[in-house]
């Protein structure tokens, strides 16, 4: 599994903790920045990670900003991306099992590094349940096709 990581300045420290956790657990990851706590604009990082996931260069992505909200909003503008903001284990599991989320968004000012790593582990180990959720996911894809460039990048 290949995981794309990204953060802005507010999520930098937590991203580094998550990166260390992934490496310790032998998960291949690519770091899309940032590399310091210098101010950075989260849409730039979210866009880069989301595009890499949508293009199949990475299996999934993890984005961290202060709250996770901005990263999730920005990433979800990329066709094919289903970014989910999660702050607990239940939503992390449901994001993958019910919504087949391919990007996890986290809040660096909201979560401890221990809880964040537990959320990451739960999300990475969960699997899409299919069945009734597949029908709902197809409806999401239909909405995306209708309102988002017919699913194609312009």
Question: Any idea which residues carry the catalytic annotation?
Answer: 65, 98
End-to-end CA distance of the chain: 29
Integer Cα distance of 86 and 91 in angstroms: 6
Integer Cα distance of 63 and 107 in angstroms: 9
Asked if omega into 34 is within 30° of 0 (cis), the reply is yes
* Contact in structure between 35 and 2 (CB atoms under 8 Å): no
Angle at 124 between CA 121 and CA 125, to 5 degrees: 85
């Amino acid at each position: 599994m290949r995981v794309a990581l990204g953060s802005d300045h507010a999520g930098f420290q937590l991203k580094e903790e998550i990166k260390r956790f992934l490496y310790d657990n032998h998960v291949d990851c690519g770091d899309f920045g940032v590399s310091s706590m210098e101010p950075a604009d989260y849409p730039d990082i979210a866009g880069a990670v989301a595009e890499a996931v949508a293009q199949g260069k990475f299996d999934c992505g993890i984005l961290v900003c202060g709250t996770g909200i901005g990263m999730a909003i920005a990433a979800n503008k990329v066709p094919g991306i289903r970014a989910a903001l999660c702050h607990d284990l239940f939503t992390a599991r449901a994001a993958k099992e019910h919504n087949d989320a391919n990007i996890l968004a986290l809040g660096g000012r909201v979560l401890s590094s221990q809880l964040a790593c537990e959320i990451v582990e739960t999300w990475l180990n969960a699997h899409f349940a299919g069945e009734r959720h597949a029908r709902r996911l197809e409806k999401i894809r239909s909405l995306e096709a209708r309102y988002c460039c017919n699913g194609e990048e312009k």
